Amino acid sequence: MKFFRTLSELRGAHDLPQKLQRLGDFAAALERHESVEFDTEAPVVPLGPPSYSAICKIVHGSEVPRRRNLGSGEGRIIFLHALAHIEYSAIDLALDSAYRFRDMPPQFYEDWLNVALDEARHFAMLQSLLGELGSGYGALPVHTGIHDAMVRSEDSLRRRMVAAHRHLEANGLDAHPELARKMSLFDDPMAERIRDALKIIFDDEIAHVAAGDFWYRYACTLDGSNPEDFAADIEMAIPGTKIGGKKNLNLDARRRAGFSEHDLAVMSRPVA
Ligand SMILES: [Fe+2]
Ligand SMILES: [Fe+2]
Looking at the predicted structure, is the pLDDT value of residue 272 above 80? no
Amino acid symbol at 203: D
- What are the distances in angstroms from CA 235 to CA 40, 163, 231, 232, 241? 31, 8, 6, 5, 6
Per the CB < 8 A criterion, the answer to whether 235 and 159 are in contact is: no
Q: Please tell me the distance between residue 272's alpha carbon and the centre of ligand 1 in angstroms.
A: 33
Q: What percent of the chain has pLDDT over 90?
A: 89
pLDDT at position 143:
96
Ligand number nearest to the C-alpha of 207: 2
Here the CATH number for the domain that contains residue 89 is 1.20.1260
Per the CB < 8 A criterion, the answer to whether 96 and 44 are in contact is: no
Ligand number nearest to the C-alpha of 119: 1
Of 30, 268, 263, nearest to 166 by C-alpha is: 263
pLDDT at position 68:
79
* 69 Cβ neighbours under 8 A, 6+ residues apart: 75
Backbone angles phi and psi of 2, in degrees to 5:
-95, 125
Structural domain boundaries enclosing 76: 3-45+52-268
Q: Please tell me the distance between residue 93's alpha carbon and the centre of ligand 2 in angstroms.
A: 9
What is the number of domains present in the chain?
1
Q: What is the pLDDT of residues 214-233, one digit of tens each?
A: 999 999 999 999 999 999 99
Q: Please tell me the distance between residue 124's alpha carbon and the centre of ligand 2 in angstroms.
A: 14
